[in-house]
């Protein structure tokens, strides 16, 4: 809470942490969350959502929902990502999350990005989900929200393994793209999907960064 404490001591009353998940995926929406924690929060173990096992992340998600001063979530779907690009879609999701807070904050802590369209003081923090409790809490809310969306789409499109890979380019996911082609949930503007639609077979050693599914989720 060092950054939050500094801002509270400077006179800011409502400090929101903002983070997103899903920027690097081949499929699915980008989801952002904005979280305002109490000035003296009592939620132990908040940290970057990527470093938490799923069971612990889900438990922290429920605690954050119960104890946060305010939470807002934004979700930008695939068709918009393809139309405006992933960076602008990420910023749009962040703005949506801010708009959905029950009370507008007077200062923002944002993981890596700045929102020039928002007329509020803000502090972009590189690796913010590791050094700000508010940003880490936002990362947990965003990831749990998006994981649940992925679980739903896994039931609709079981070939791609979305429940496991969350839309990232794992070997199983790329193999399914090669054999079945992209589904409605894939981002057409991303190079691997664009190549497939142009009739190019994906070669795992050249065209995409293939991830190990076991590294995506500790569980």
So what's the pLDDT on residue 109?
Answer: 98
Q: What is the pLDDT of residues 166-208, one digit of tens each?
A: 999 998 999 999 999 999 999 999 988 998 888 776 665 544 4
Q: Which of the four pLDDT bands, split at 50, 70 and 90, describes residue 217? A: low
Residues 104 and 184 in one domain: no
Residues 175 and 115 in one domain: no
So what's the pLDDT on residue 196?
Answer: 87
Say whether pLDDT at 218 is over 70: no
CB-CB neighbours of 138 under 10 Å: 36
Q: What is the pLDDT of residues 68-116, one digit of tens each?
A: 999 999 999 999 999 999 999 999 999 999 999 999 999 999 999 999 9
**C-alpha distances in Å from residue 175, one per residue of 17, 156, 171, 178, 192:** 37, 18, 6, 5, 12
Residues 33 and 115 in one domain: yes
CB-CB neighbours of 120 under 10 Å: 13
Residues 8 and 85 in one domain: yes
Give the chain's mean pLDDT: 90
Residues 125 and 103 in one domain: yes
Within 13 Å of residue 146, how many CA atoms lie on the same side as its CB?
Answer: 34
Domain holding 147, by residue range, is 2-151
- What's 219's DSSP letter? -
Say whether pLDDT at 157 is over 90: yes
Q: Tell the residue number behind the tokens 């499109």, with chain if given.
A: 157
Q: Which of the four pLDDT bands, split at 50, 70 and 90, describes residue 141? A: very high
Q: What is the mean pLDDT of residues 58-64?
A: 96
Last residue of a domain, which of 151, 173, 203? 151
Q: What is the mean pLDDT of residues 119-123?
A: 96
Say whether pLDDT at 25 is over 70: yes
So what's the pLDDT on residue 49?
Answer: 80
CATH at 19: 3.30.420.10
So what's the pLDDT on residue 50?
Answer: 82
Token representation of residue 208: 């995409």
Say whether pLDDT at 211 is over 80: no
Residues 180 and 143 in one domain: no
Residues 130 and 164 in one domain: no
Last residue of a domain, which of 151, 177, 202? 151
Question: How many domains, the chain?
Answer: 2
So what's the pLDDT on residue 27?
Answer: 97
Residues 172 and 129 in one domain: no
């Amino acid at each position: 809470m060092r950054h939050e404490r500094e801002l509270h001591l400077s006179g800011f009353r409502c400090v929101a942490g903002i983070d997103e998940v899903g920027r690097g995926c081949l499929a699915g929406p980008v989801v952002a969350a904005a979280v305002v924690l109490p000035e003296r929060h009592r939620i132990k173990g908040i940290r970057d959502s990527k470093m938490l096992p799923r069971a612990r992340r889900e438990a922290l998600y429920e605690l954050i929902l119960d104890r946060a001063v305010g939470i807002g979530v934004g979700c930008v779907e695939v068709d918009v990502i393809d139309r405006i690009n992933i960076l602008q879609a990420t910023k749009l999701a962040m703005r949506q999350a801010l708009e959905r807070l029950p009370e507008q904050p007077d200062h923002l802590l944002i993981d890596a990005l700045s929102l020039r369209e928002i007329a509020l003081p803000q502090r972009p923090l590189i690796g913010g989900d590791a050094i700000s409790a508010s940003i880490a809490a936002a990362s947990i809310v965003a990831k749990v929200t998006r994981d649940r969306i992925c679980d739903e789409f896994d039931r609709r499109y079981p070939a791609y393994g979305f429940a496991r890979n969350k839309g990232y380019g794992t070997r199983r996911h790329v193999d399914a793209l090669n054999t079945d082609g992209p589904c409605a949930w894939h981002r057409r503007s991303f190079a691997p999907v664009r190549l497939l639609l142009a009739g190019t077979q994906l070669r795992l050693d050249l065209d995409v960064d293939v991830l190990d599914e076991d590294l995506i989720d500790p569980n």
